[in-house]
Each structure stands twice: as C-alpha cells, then as structure tokens.
Structure 1
Amino acid sequence: MSQTSIEERGHRKERIGEVVSNKMEKTIVVKVERRYRHPQYRKVVTSFKKLYAHDETKQAQVGDLVRIQETRPLSKLKAWRLVDVLNPDGSIKSQPEGSVKN
C-alpha cells in the first residue's frame, strides 16, 4: 500500500453544526441542520441530525459552531472527526492540535 496525502484520497463530506454535548471521552455530538423545499407542498422544511464526531484534543465546548468531516468508522456510532472550531460569523477560531489517524 502506498502513502497518500489527504488531497489524493478524494472528496470527503463536510458539515457545519452546533455542539450539543461533550460529556463523552474524546467524542462530541453535533446537531446539523438541513433546510430543503418539500417536493409536493413547496414549503421550506428544516430537519436536524445528530452526528457523533471524534474530538482528539477535547477543545469543542457545548454551543460552539464546528466543522466536521467524514472519516472511517471509529466506533458503532462515530464516523466523523472535528476539523475546526468556528466563530459565530463562520471564520476559523481554532484547529485541532494533534493529527488523527484516518
């Protein structure tokens, strides 16, 4: 197997959401909002999904806006990892210190 960089691996899904829980060890729960127009009724519908993400440095706090990225399954529920913590305006506040094995 050859060594490949992150850019060569292909595009991974990224989501932005709000941290709703950080009580687990190195795991955060992120609420991701999705807005779409209902196909039949044409009303804008908001749906939420709670995703479990790996936070190696435990830097995300409840209420923070974070960017998470899809990764290989790390446990039964956890298949996302923290990319960076964002300011409320969307700019980058901080990035994780350590690297995560993918």
Structure 2
Amino acid sequence: MAIGLNVTEPEVSCADTNCPFHGSLSVRGQTLEGTVASTDMDKTVIVEREYDVRVPKYDRLMKRRSRIPAHAPPCVDLAEGDTVRIAETRPLSKTKSHVVVEQIDTGGAE
C-alpha cells in the first residue's frame, strides 16, 4: 500500500494497526531523518537529531540535539545507531506523534 512518500516498503509483513504500510495509520506533515538513540521501549524508538544554532554574540555555531519518540512497527527491524526516516502522524500517545517509515542505513554494529 502506498503511503504517499517516496520510501521503500518493508519485505516483512506485520499485523500492527499503527503501521503506515500494513495498518490504517496515515502519515502527514514533516518527514525527518535522525539516528536511533534508544530501543528500550516496546514498539517505540528515540530518534536523535543534531543541528547547529548560530550564537550571534560569539559569531559561532553551537550544536543542539532533539530527541523525538517515534513508533517503530514490527516490520521495520531497528537497532541503536541506525539512520532512519520518520514521518509525522496523528498523536499515538502522550509523547509519540511520529512513525518510522524507512531505515536508511544500519549503524554498523553487525
């Protein structure tokens, strides 16, 4: 099933209702890229994004990071250090409003 994004569909099927490929979850809004920082929760990963902020006083750049909780469907096999693409969706819980739609690169832990 096409989800409206230019991403590859996973080969493995799942029975998750909150999967954008095999369930009924629709994606909308932003698509972001980041690195998986934590896989400790069930069906949830923490995606970390680093970005630079300009500090005008010192005319330098300062590194900042944001940690975004995202739903990880069972059909997408993820590990810490993987680079993933996440898409915005309806709120799935108090903090989760994104879902992993593609694994771009593995973390090299293999």
- Shared fold by TM > 0.5? yes
Identify the residue that residue 30 of structure 2 maps to in structure 1: 13
What one-letter code is carried by the residue in structure 1 that aligns with 2:31? E
2:43 is the alignment partner of 1:26: yes
Deviation at 1:60, TM superposition (A): 1.3
Task: Give every structure 1 segment of 4 or more consecutive aligned residues whose post-TM-superposition deviation is greater than 3 Å.
Answer: none
| Match in the other structure for 2:23 | none
Structure 1: distance between partners of 2:94 and 2:101: 20
Unaligned runs of 5+ in 1: 89-102
Alpha-carbon distance, 1:41 to partner: 2.7
TM-score normalized by the length of structure 1: 0.69
Residue type of the alignment partner of 1:52: P
2:59 to 22, 38, 42: 42
Structure 2, unaligned runs of 5 or more: 6-25
State TM-score, norm by structure 2: 0.65
Number of residue-to-residue matches in the alignment: 83
Distance 1:34 1:14 in 2: 15
Structure 1 residue 13: Cα displacement: 1.3
Distance 2:56 2:91 in 1: 32
